[in-house]
Amino acid sequence: SRCIRITSCLLSTKSVLDTLVYYNLTYSSILLGDPYLSFALVAAAEYPGRLLGVVSVNYLRRRTAYIALYSFASVCSAASIFVPAEASWALMASALLAKMGLIAAHCVSVVQMSELYPTKLRTTAMGFTITTSRIGAILAPFTKELGVVFFPWVPKVVDIIGCACLILVSLPLPETFNEPLPDTLHDIEKARNGSKKKNALDPYVTAEAQPLR
């Protein structure tokens, strides 16, 4: 199906960028100040990020959540560029806030991923997307080195560009908020084409909806 191919390409690209920015922010946070305290704070930031993700999944439309969360992460990354190197706590706080926004957006992405594929393809598609995300994990350590070769703020620019690209890649995805999970490719095509036919007009749905006698 053409829509499945397009969705898979968008989600694979999104997973690579998401993982790249995630690990880049993690490396930036751990390298600030006391490494032990930094590591503890980086791990602790996962919890409010997941909680924010739960709220976003339940109450925000998918595109709205992506725009808000990725924009928040990019603003926090941009703010750290103008913070002096001596203010390690301010740098760490901006990196952790950016990571929280990214974690919340990732939670929305994982939920939407399951909403975009039919039942028989859902697990395979999610496994494929997770596999492609490892490309971002491979590239992340090299983006950190850009700050050594060029300027210290270059990795932050990579984060900002990555968040902007994540917004652009997320917008073409179908809106799935409060929509039923698709069971077949027929459901995917119908949702993509914006069909508003009633179930009574669909012979497949009508046949399944008949009560047992």
3-state helix, strand, coil in the chain (%, to 5): 80, 0, 20
pLDDT tens digits, one per residue of 142-181:
888 887 788 888 889 999 999 999 999 999 998 889 888 8
Cα 16 to chain centroid, rounded: 10
Judged against a pLDDT cut of 80, whether residue 77 lies above it is answered with: yes
CA distance 103 to 197: 37
For 2-180, CATH number out of 3.40.710.10, 1.20.1600.10, 3.40.50.300, 1.20.1250.20 equals 1.20.1250.20
CA distance 119 to 126: 11
Instruction: Estimate the crossing angle of helix 154-170 against helix 62-81, to 10 degrees.
Output: 170
- pTM of the predicted model as reported, rounded to 2 decimal places: 0.83
Q: Residue 209's pLDDT band (boundaries 50, 70, 90)?
A: very low
CA distance 12 to 28: 24
pLDDT tens digits, one per residue of 11-63:
999 999 999 999 988 887 766 667 788 888 888 889 999 999 999 999 999 99
Q: What is the pLDDT of residue 110?
A: 93
Q: What is the pLDDT of residue 57?
A: 95
Q: Residue 129's pLDDT band (boundaries 50, 70, 90)?
A: very high
